[in-house]
A and B are shown apart, each in its own frame.
Chain A
Amino acid sequence: MLLYILRRLILLLPVLFGLTLLLFIVARILPGDPVGLAAGPNATPELIAQMRSELGMDLPLPVQYWNYLTGLVSGDWGMSVFTRRPVVADIMEYLPATIELVFASLLIAVVIGIPLGLLTAVHKNGALDYITRTVALGGIAMPRFFLGLLLQMAFAAWLDILPLSGRYPLIESPPDHVTGLYTLDALIAGDWYAFQVALSHLALPAIAMALSPLATIMRMMRASTIEVLQQDYVMTERALGLSNHLILFKYVLKNAMTSTLTVIGLYVSWLLGGTVLVETVFDWPGLGLYATQAILTQDFMPVIGVTLVIAIIYLITMLIVDLLYGVFNPKVRYA
């Protein structure tokens, strides 16, 4: 098992190398002049040339890539032309907010989606089944940014029970930095008030992001549970007189989980990329907002950095998903 994890982690290295190369090539062959944009319309050609050489952008491309690669390994992910700060520092600042948001929405999707999928599979074609299936169809088609706007309208403007946007009131200081996840930090500090404030800010963006994965997870869970329920061994267990409860939770759930698990893993990448939209709607200071700003100013290094971070999180998630297969299905062996 440990050997398997180690081998998978080593296999990630060529993938990451390929990724950096690909991203670097894409960033360099694309037209656009980030330095010119950052320097402003009144910049002299001399100033732009000076900025280019400061950023190492006047060197031959292979040399630039080599510098970038050695920098990556030593923790120097380049400079943002726009914020004039190291990309790593920017990412460290914005990453916790995004992780908190993605984790919260995934939690909502899993905690509601899986039981609902099980329940509707058992009571197939019941009233609840029809209602949830209809809502799920709509949920998958609903654009996250439009749902976010509607939620803002309903809960922040009309009902006025949740904050409109942001992560924490600007005039107050967030809980002490431990993990960077405000809700978690507040709990660690034992500050109940801060927890409520952080949670109230988190609620709407998390729900806006959660609806689509929730609907997909529910549909997937329902389909695979129905399939498993038709297996011979379930009939045998019924014949042996095992209770429905026992059959469902001990034998069916585990087998139905494997395909759902894949979907959950794939959604991590989808959610991380989708923060670009939801964070824009809610002014959530995370990677998505940072990436959007970088993209709009054609600031390559932050875009490559954010993409790389998301890709690494995605690859590690897929590894965890593969390991979890073994938990749900002992037939899976790691050689």
Chain B
Amino acid sequence: MTQTEQTMSVAIPNRNQSARLENWSRAFYRFRQSWLSIIGLTIVIALIVIAVIAPWIVPYPEHVVGGTNTGAQFQPPSANAWFGTNALGQDMFSLVLVGSQVSLFSGMAVVFIAIVFGTIVGAIAGYFGGWIDEVLMRLTDLLLTIPSLILAMAVAAALGTGVWNMIIAISITWWPAYARLVRGEVIVKKEEQFVVAAHALGANWVRILGKHILPNIVSPIVIKASLDMGFAILTVASLGFVGIGVKPPTPEWGTLLSGARSYMPDYWWTAVAPGTAIFLAVLAFNLLGDGLRDVLDPKARR
């Protein structure tokens, strides 16, 4: 990254656009080449916008906070209720729209916490090596052998219901993968000349890691994070589906789907609406992740 920036600033003198911006616009050009990535990005942006403004745009805001309308149970989809109504007569459209809040927020929080924690552990293990590396890596290895869904479910159940407890539980199973990734990158980067130079100048390890090594390994982390987002959302929904995590009346896609199970197949719309929402969100983040990977890591291009 640094090298190309330097050569470019020589090759293209007197440009108002900075080299970094130039890089970004080039990256965005490559991203635009794949229409699947554009679709992914569009849906992701739409989902985020919906999640933010949902409480104000849903047709039945009272249903979202637990209000019921037992007179209108199991109405099939109609102009009045686009996705039909559920066993409590609540408007599925309103529930699914607001449900995007928990799913998106939890997914992002899980990936964020995993990145922060995994990066710290991985960077320390990779930089210091020796017994510190041994201990930290054996611990991550152990966590990677445990089936993550079951561990997350067990921890979430023990911590009790609530969005944050669920996020913490999933993050516990999520960080080891980042620790491994970062450790591998740090081991490669710490032998490079600019790190040796920084060392020679007397920089301490915090500065070397934070200022010199980590900025250079951002792109593999971003690639992994964007590919992980979809699966994080899926895991959140999975926990909701087995009855762990967020409790009603807070609408959450997995919980909505699990509630619809008992009324299948007669009242299929109660399951199809939240299920399709999960599918769309995961698909969109996967497409976006694939696109970002193609841009940031051109060697891995399909």
What is the distance, in angstroms, from B3's C-beta to the closest C-beta of chain A?
27
Q: Are A295 and B153 in contact (CB under 8 A)?
A: yes
B142, B147, B155, B275, most chain A CB atoms within 10 A: B147
CB nearest neighbor in A for B169: A30
Q: Are A19 and B242 in contact (CB under 8 A)?
A: no
Interface string of A138-179 (1 = CB under 8 A from B): 101111011001101100111000000000000000000000
Interface string of B239-251 (1 = CB under 8 A from A): 0011110000000
Interface string of A205-244 (1 = CB under 8 A from B): 0000000000000000001000000000000000000000
**Known contacts being A295-B244, A310-B147, is A141 close to B257, with CB within 8 Å?**
no
CB nearest neighbor in A for B302: A223
CB nearest neighbor in A for B266: A157
Q: Is A265 an interface residue (CB 8 A)?
A: no
Contacts of B160 in A (CB 8 A): 31
Q: Is the interface of B mostly helix, strand, loop or mixed?
A: helix
Contacts of A273 in B (CB 8 A): 147-150
Q: Is A22 an interface residue (CB 8 A)?
A: yes
Q: Are B243 and A145 in contact (CB under 8 A)?
A: no
Q: Is A311 an interface residue (CB 8 A)?
A: yes
What is the distance, in angstroms, from B175's C-beta to the closest C-beta of chain A?
14
CB nearest neighbor in A for B234: A143
Q: Are A143 and B282 in contact (CB under 8 A)?
A: yes
Interface string of A57-77 (1 = CB under 8 A from B): 000000000000000000000
Contacts of A158 in B (CB 8 A): 265
Q: Are A146 and B155 in contact (CB under 8 A)?
A: no
Complex Cα distance, B88 from A114, in Å, reads 46
Contacts of A292 in B (CB 8 A): 153, 242
Contacts of A142 in B (CB 8 A): 279, 282
Contacts of B241 in A (CB 8 A): 143, 145, 277, 280
What is the distance, in angstroms, from A285's C-beta to the closest C-beta of chain B?
16
**Known contacts being A152-B264, A153-B268, A277-B238, is A307 close to B150, with CB within 8 Å?**
yes
Q: Are B286 and A140 in contact (CB under 8 A)?
A: yes
Q: Which of B159, B282, B302 contacts A141 (CB 8 A)?
A: B282
**A-B interface contact total, Cβ < 8 Å:** 128
Q: Is A137 an interface residue (CB 8 A)?
A: yes
- Contacting residues of chain B (266-295) with chain A, CB-CB under 8 angstroms: 268, 271-272, 275, 278-279, 282-283, 286-287
Complex Cα distance, B275 from A314, in Å, reads 30
Complex Cα distance, B159 from A30, in Å, reads 7
Interface string of A254-290 (1 = CB under 8 A from B): 0000000000000001001110110011000000000
Contacts of B147 in A (CB 8 A): 269, 272-273, 307, 310-311, 314
Q: Are B257 and A145 in contact (CB under 8 A)?
A: yes
Complex Cα distance, B173 from A273, in Å, reads 13
Q: Is B12 an interface residue (CB 8 A)?
A: no
Contacts of B261 in A (CB 8 A): 149, 281
Q: Is B145 an interface residue (CB 8 A)?
A: yes
Complex Cα distance, B242 from A295, in Å, reads 10
17 pairs of residues in contact across A and B, judged by CB atoms under 8 Å: A23-B146, A26-B154, A30-B154, A137-B36, A138-B283, A141-B282, A143-B279, A143-B282, A145-B238, A269-B147, A273-B147, A276-B238, A277-B238, A296-B242, A307-B146, A310-B150, A311-B145
Chain B contacts to A: CB under 8 angstroms: 36, 138-139, 141-143, 145-151, 153-155, 157-160, 230, 234, 237-238, 241-244, 257, 260-261, 264-265, 268, 271-272, 275, 278-279, 282-283, 286-287, 302
Chain A contacts to B: CB under 8 angstroms: 15, 18-19, 22-23, 26-27, 30-32, 137-138, 140-143, 145-146, 149-150, 152-153, 156-158, 223, 269, 272-274, 276-277, 280-281, 291-292, 295-296, 298, 303, 306-307, 310-311, 314-315
Nearest 10 interchain pairs by C-beta: A273-B147, A30-B158, A146-B275, A157-B265, A141-B283, A141-B282, A153-B265, A32-B158, A273-B149, A311-B145
Given pairs A276-B238, A281-B261, 5 additional interface contacts (CB within 8 A): A137-B36, A141-B283, A143-B234, A146-B278, A307-B150
